[in-house]
């Protein structure tokens, strides 16, 4: 502890603006290995901690994004699920190489649509089709994965990522419905789109 000096500085002291994360547009394949789906979203940078180590020889960025997504998957003979969620995305990466790791808890709303004709009894006691039958559920979960930021090495405004996630949907019968899934996608970072001013914290160790 005595060897470490922790110094938190103000935002205007950030020396290299290229380290400041920008708003990104995400699109990904979302599926549970075999059942397909897709997801699009936007990631808004909220906070970046720039940690300088080894006398300035290494800089690590801890980025925090608020991500809003809309996604769906199709599970044959079960349901189609339309999902709206927000994630608190925590990403960690260096400044020289493009690799990053991230994990993100999320919460949201889901509406399923049964994948098959549904029937119910109407007020007169007749069996009728129940069009649009499905269920509304609260969803929460966590995802984790890794990716590559092409802007670090090839000056491309793109990131590619892979994530595995587990999401719980509730209410679902007597408990909840856990659904594991994988996500493979891209983030496009436009030069100027919905410019955010994330809070910047500089930490020297």
Partner 1 sequence: MKKIIFLALGLAFMTACHKENISIGTQVFDTFFVTNKGVSMPIHVSGNTASKVIVLFIPGGPGGAGLIYKDKAMETVEQKYAVAYINQRECGTSQGKSTEPNNMALMTEDLELTIATIKKRYGQGMSVFILGHSFGGMMVSAFVTKGDNQKMIKGWIDADGISEYQAIGNLTRDMYLKYGLEQTALGKRVAEWKPIIEWCKAHPNNLTLEEIDYINQQQDGEELMSEYIVNNTYPSQFSYFFDLAKAFKLPITAYGVNILSTGGSNSSLSKDIENKAYHAKLRNVSTPALFLVGKYDFICPPALHQDAYDNTASLKKKIVIFPKSGHQTYMNEPELFAKEVIDFMTLYK
Ramachandran sector of residue 33 (left: φ over 0; alpha: ψ -120 to 50; beta: rest): left
Confirm if 74 and 112 have CB atoms less than 8 A apart.
no
Q: Which of 146, 172, 186, 196 lies at the binding interface for partner 1 (CB under 8 A)?
A: 172
Per CB under 8 A, 171 contacts partner 1: yes
The dihedral sign for the CA sequence 89, 66, 32, 99: negative
Q: x-or-dash pattern for partner 1, window 15-54, by CB under 8 A?
A: ----------x-x------xx--x-x-x------------
Residue 61 CA to residue 19 CA, distance in Å, equals 8
Tell me the closest approach of the beta carbon of residue 133 to partner 1, in angstroms. 5
Tell me the closest approach of the beta carbon of residue 198 to partner 1, in angstroms. 21
Per CB under 8 A, 12 contacts partner 1: no
Confirm if 151 and 158 have CB atoms less than 8 A apart.
yes
Residue 149 CA to residue 155 CA, distance in Å, equals 9
Tell me the closest approach of the beta carbon of residue 71 to partner 1, in angstroms. 8
Instruction: Please give the residue ranges that form the binding site for partner 1 (CB under 8 A).
Output: 25, 27, 34-35, 38, 40, 42, 70-72, 74-80, 82, 112-121, 127, 129-135, 171-180
């Amino acid at each position: 502890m005595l060897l470490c000096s922790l110094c938190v500085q103000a935002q205007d002291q950030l020396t290299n603006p290229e380290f400041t994360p920008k708003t990104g547009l995400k699109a990904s394949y979302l599926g549970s290995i075999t059942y397909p789906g897709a997801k699009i979203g936007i990631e808004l940078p909220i906070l970046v901690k720039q940690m300088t180590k080894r006398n300035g020889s290494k800089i690590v960025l801890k980025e925090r994004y608020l991500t809003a997504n809309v996604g769906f998957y199709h599970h044959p003979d079960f349901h189609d699920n339309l999902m709206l969620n927000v994630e608190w995305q925590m990403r960690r990466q260096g400044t020289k190489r493009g690799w990053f790791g991230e994990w993100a808890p999320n919460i949201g709303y889901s509406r399923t649509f049964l994948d098959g004709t549904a029937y119910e009894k109407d007020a007169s006691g007749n069996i009728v089709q129940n069009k649009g039958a499905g269920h509304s559920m609260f969803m929460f979960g966590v995802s984790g994965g890794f990716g590559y930021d092409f802007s670090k090495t090839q000056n491309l405004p793109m990131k590619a990522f892979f994530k595995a996630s587990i999401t719980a949907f509730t209410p679902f019968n007597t408990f909840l419905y856990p659904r594991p899934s994988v996500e493979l996608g891209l983030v496009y970072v436009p030069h100027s789109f919905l410019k955010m001013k994330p809070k910047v914290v500089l930490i020297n160790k």
